[in-house]
Structure 1
Amino acid sequence: MMDLNDRDRNPPEIQNLHDFLNKHPMYQRQLAQLLGVTKSSVEKWSSGDRRITQRTLNDLNRLHYYLNQNPEIRENYVSTRQCVAC
């Protein structure tokens, strides 16, 4: 089992928004809700109009870990079908 010190020594698995969405495909409004930001912010990160901050990147890594550890919650947000509107 990985302890917190191992996580600190290893680079984060999620390096950008697209890494997160490749591992956890979901609508932008769902991601905004989970992060506590506006859908507009997620749209701007996705389009490249705004750079994602280190704090948000850390939040994405924590959310990635949380969703992987809690499949019952993950299934409420992650789409297993191809998302046409994403």
Structure 2
Amino acid sequence: LVEHGAVINQGFINNSDLLFFACKKDYEEIVKYLMRYGVNINRIDNNGVTPLHLACQNGNVTLVKYFVEHGANINSENNEGENPLIYA
């Protein structure tokens, strides 16, 4: 679907998107696929959480490294004032 123009940055409930879902489930290949098609790596949900926050919370070192290498904002704070590195 993405290859035929499906919108991948569409926000869902809580302003999350497909990348958030893939991060929550540790679906590394889906994360990389979405990234190839331009998903917003620094999207912020209604709680101030980014995909990098989720990868750090899950302890997924592979995704954390991937996000940082691809420009994820390591200083982005959630609504509690926590940056992703607090979970690392």
Which TM-score applies when normalising by structure 1? 0.26
Structure whose residues are more often helix by fraction? 1
TM-score (norm 2): 0.25
Looking at both structures, which has the greater relative contact order when contacts are Cα pairs under 8 Å and sequence separation is at least 6?
1
Point out the structure with max Rg over C-alpha.
1
